[in-house]
């Protein structure tokens, strides 16, 4: 019997307009009211994810920044945190600068209303519109290399896929076990996103850690998602579900591919079948 359902947001629970359909809202509410543990597992920062799920109107555990920070919406308290080592951060930044790459840095500054740190104006073309025009939860610094911030959650590069793939492979080859990283493909702002984090920071590792604390085994977990940061979660869960609109890498490891996509409430449609709701 399944006890925990982990859901991605973008491309999964959210439609392309970044809304949760009424059908998906009703499904999540029903799951929670029936006693299922529902976890939102997203690459988004906690603040953003919390805003997007507010219409669900139930306390939720949000596994944000790909598992590097896990909080509950009940009181915003931290359940799990995984920060990038400051020396490893500086090494990464310098390697990126050597290639002319300009990242956005995610930090755990929820209480201080700071989620992002940037070096240039937020509208700079090198950021590929990653930072929203109305964004206020950010801080600008002269140089990342001079930062003393010790709560770094992720370093994110937006740009051309081939260029980011090359950097991704090079970092993993030259600095094994110092970072966890992946390339995101199902995005609108650029060809690809490269997200680099703590070596233990991914959705599955944090999800499995949380499940263990709740006395839930891996085979009692359903995980559903659409992009490459969901692969480990979908591969290792008792039931791994890829959205119809998922990347090929996700579909290859999934047990089930949804009949409907994220614009057709595919999450609700599939889970109602599986759980006989």
CATH of the domain at 65: 3.40.50.1000
Average pLDDT value for residue range 145-164: 91
Beta bridge partners of 62: 40, 71
User: CA–CA separation, 196 vs 49, rounded Å?
Assistant: 19
User: Where does the pLDDT of residue 189 fall: very low under 50, low under 70, confident under 90, or very high at 90 and above?
Assistant: low
User: CA–CA separation, 64 vs 70, rounded Å?
Assistant: 6
Statement to judge: residues 207 and 77 lie in one domain = yes
Average pLDDT value for residue range 156-176: 93
H helix and E strand count, the chain: 8, 14
Q: What percent of the chain has pLDDT over 70?
A: 98
Q: Which of 180, 197, 214 is the last residue of a domain?
A: 197
CA torsion through residues 206, 208, 210, 213, sign: negative
Average pLDDT value for residue range 207-229: 96
CA torsion through residues 33, 275, 241, 80, sign: positive
- Is residue 101 pLDDT above 70, yes or no? yes
Q: Which of 197, 215, 247 is the last residue of a domain?
A: 197
Say what the pLDDT of residue 123 is. Answer: 85
CA torsion through residues 108, 111, 116, 120, sign: negative
pTM of the model: 0.92
Q: Which of 177, 197, 217 is the last residue of a domain?
A: 197
- Is residue 188 pLDDT above 80, yes or no? no
Find where tokens 């598992």 sit.
67
Three-state secondary structure call for residue 153 = strand
Statement to judge: residues 176 and 243 lie in one domain = no
- Is residue 103 pLDDT above 90, yes or no? yes
Say how many C-beta atoms besides its own lie within 10 A of residue 194's C-beta.
24
Statement to judge: residues 211 and 257 lie in one domain = yes
User: CA–CA separation, 35 vs 43, rounded Å?
Assistant: 26
- Is residue 126 pLDDT above 90, yes or no? no
Statement to judge: residues 95 and 193 lie in one domain = yes
Mean of the per-residue pLDDT values of the chain: 94
User: Where does the pLDDT of residue 150 fall: very low under 50, low under 70, confident under 90, or very high at 90 and above?
Assistant: confident
Q: Which of 198, 196, 221, 197 is nearest to 208 (CA)?
A: 221
- Is residue 163 pLDDT above 80, yes or no? yes
Say what the pLDDT of residue 149 is. Answer: 82
Tell me the CA distances in angstroms from 255 to 72, 117, 235, 240, 241, one per residue in order.
Answer: 29, 38, 8, 5, 6
Statement to judge: residues 140 and 207 lie in one domain = no
Say what the pLDDT of residue 87 is. Answer: 95
Say what the pLDDT of residue 206 is. Answer: 97
Determine contact, residues 53/20, Cβ cutoff 8 Å: yes
User: Where does the pLDDT of residue 39 fall: very low under 50, low under 70, confident under 90, or very high at 90 and above?
Assistant: very high
Statement to judge: residues 103 and 148 lie in one domain = yes
Statement to judge: residues 213 and 269 lie in one domain = yes
Statement to judge: residues 190 and 97 lie in one domain = yes
Q: What percent of the chain has pLDDT over 90?
A: 86
DSSP 3-state percent helix, strand, coil across the chain (nearest 5): 40, 25, 35
Do strands 180-184 and 192-197 pair parallel, antiparallel, or not at all (unpaired)? antiparallel
- Is residue 247 pLDDT above 70, yes or no? yes
- Is residue 186 pLDDT above 80, yes or no? no
Statement to judge: residues 224 and 245 lie in one domain = yes
Q: Which of 246, 193, 200, 248 is nearest to 224 (CA)?
A: 246
Average pLDDT value for residue range 58-87: 97
Q: Specify the higher pLDDT residue, 135 or 19.
A: 19
Range of the domain at 228: 4-81+202-275
Report the domain count for the chain: 2
Q: Could you tell me the end-to-end alpha-carbon distance of the chain, in angstroms, rounded to an integer?
A: 14
Average pLDDT value for residue range 47-72: 96
Statement to judge: residues 26 and 116 lie in one domain = no
């Amino acid at each position: 019997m399944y006890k925990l359902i982990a859901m991605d947001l973008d491309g999964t629970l959210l439609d392309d307009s970044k809304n949760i359909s009424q059908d998906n809202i009703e499904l999540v509410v029903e799951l929670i009211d029936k006693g299922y543990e529902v976890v939102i597992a997203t690459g988004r920062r906690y603040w953003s994810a919390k805003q997007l799920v507010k219409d669900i109107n139930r306390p939720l555990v949000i596994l944000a920044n790909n598992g590097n920070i896990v909080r509950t919406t009940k009181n915003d308290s931290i359940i799990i945190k995984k920060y990038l080592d400051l020396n490893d951060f500086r090494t990464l930044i310098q390697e990126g600068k050597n290639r002319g790459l300009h990242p956005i840095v995610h930090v755990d500054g929820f209480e201080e209303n700071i989620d992002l740190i940037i070096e240039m104006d937020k509208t700079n073309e090198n950021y590929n519109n990653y930072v929203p025009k109305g964004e206020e939860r950010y801080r600008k610094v002269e140089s990342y290399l001079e930062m003393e911030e010790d709560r770094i959650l992720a370093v994110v590069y937006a740009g051309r896929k081939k260029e980011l793939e090359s950097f991704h492979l090079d970092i993993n080859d030259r600095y094994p076990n110092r970072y966890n990283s992946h390339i995101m493909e199902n995005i609108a702002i650029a060809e690809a996103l490269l997200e680099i984090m703590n070596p233990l920071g991914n959705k599955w590792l944090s999800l499995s850690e949380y499940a263990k604390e709740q006395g839930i085994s891996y085979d009692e977990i359903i995980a559903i998602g659409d992009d490459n940061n969901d692969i480990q979660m979908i591969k290792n869960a008792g039931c791994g579900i890829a959205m119809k609109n998922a990347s090929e890498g996700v579909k290859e490891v999934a047990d089930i591919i949804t009949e409907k996509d994220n614009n057709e409430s595919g999450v609700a449609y599939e889970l109602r079948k599986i759980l006989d709701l």
